[in-house]
Amino acid sequence: MNSIKKHDLATLGACAVLFAIVQTLLFADFIGPFWELNIILILINVILSVSLNLINGYTGQFSIGHAGFLAVGAYTGAIVTVKLGLPFELALVVGTLCSALLGFLIGLPTLRLNGDYLAIATLGLGEIIRICILNIEYVGGASGLMGIPRFTTFAWAFWITVFIIFVIKNFKNSAPGRCCLAIRENEIAAETMGIDTTKYKVMAFTIGAGFAGTAGVLFAHYFYIAHPASFTFMRSFDILTMVVLGGLGSMTGAITGAVLLTAISAVLAEYPEWRMVIYSLTLIVLMINRPQGLFGSKELSLKMFRLGGSDNGRATESK
């Protein structure tokens, strides 16, 4: 069997073991609702972080409006279950597709901007989405959409997260993924090497947005309510911090950043202002001293978790 397939199966096996352990702990009530909440929150943040990393880290585009896609997924998924009474599985699909579609429509015109301008545009678009939601009575306007059934379980969240990580990992190690990396490295050279940079930027953006939407559906169906205040620029900033702390361009980094910062958030839940002050100071100090974050753009390769997925069968650092 192909060495790549072997890696993937081994990783899946390890995930299954991890899942079994946590699920048993939950079933047996060894760990209670507080833990379940935070574990699911971690998984949702991992999805957000990893999907933003696809756009910012792998493709080098500066998108800081990710909360907007989270919102679209949450609301459209909730409409499917609450307003239309359709199953959760459909909500997941619809939420993902709607966010992806929005990402595509937004990406097409804005991705020809670069650097700072793209950042501001995505920030603006994230805000426009939130303001629009605020003004739509059908989804509850300023009070939010309530009464969303809790369909998200640990199992759903876990396996969807694993699936998304695999999709993005495989994307990165394929031709379209390499094109995205090339665009990040040197956009002009990439164009000259025959790469339609707009196509791949939009592709990465769409996929990233879509998965943020998936996270949104999971989020809405755990916390019973979708409220505009959950999707502000601060949320986008939180996700960005996770990716940057972990290291732009590193999947391991994105996952680590999400886990760490969700944990810190949980600890500091009582003191939101202190949390923000600590976050911002951490970010400033980090940017000045180690802008590449914890992992830079490298992946961690442990014996069991071959997250990098090297094509040559080498188990050490891949890109």
Footprint (CB under 8 A) of other proteins, residues 213-272: 234, 237, 240, 244, 248
- Rounded to a whole number of angstroms, the distance between the first and last alpha carbons of the chain is 23
Q: Which of 283, 300, 305, 315 binds other proteins (CB under 8 A)?
A: 283
3-class DSSP assignment, residue 169:
helix
Max CA distance (Å), the chain: 59
> Residue 44 or 179: which CB sits closer to other proteins?
179
Residue 89 found at the interface with other proteins (CB under 8 A): no
Q: Smallest Cα–Cα separation from 111: which of 215, 7, 208, 202?
A: 202
Nearer to other proteins, 5 or 29 (CB): 5
287 binds other proteins (CB under 8 A): yes
Q: Which of 15, 43, 71, 179 binds other proteins (CB under 8 A)?
A: 179
Closest distance between other proteins and the C-beta of residue 166, in Å? 8
Distance CA 188, CA 279 (A): 35
Phi and psi at residue 144, to the nearest 5°: 85, 170
Q: Does 197 bind other proteins (CB under 8 A)?
A: yes
Among residues 24 and 174, whose Cβ is nearest to other proteins? 174
Q: Does 51 contact other proteins by CB under 8 A?
A: no
Q: Based on the shown chain and the rule CB under 8 A, indicate whether residue 3 belongs to the binding site for other proteins.
A: no
Which runs of consecutive H residues, i.e. helices, occur in the chain? 3-27, 33-52, 66-78, 88-110, 115-134, 154-172, 175-185, 187-192, 197-223, 233-246, 251-267, 272-289
Q: Applying CB under 8 A, does 107 fall inside the site for other proteins?
A: no
Residue type, 296: G
Segment interacting with other proteins, rule: CB under 8 A, options 94-102, 213-221, 281-289, 299-307: 281-289
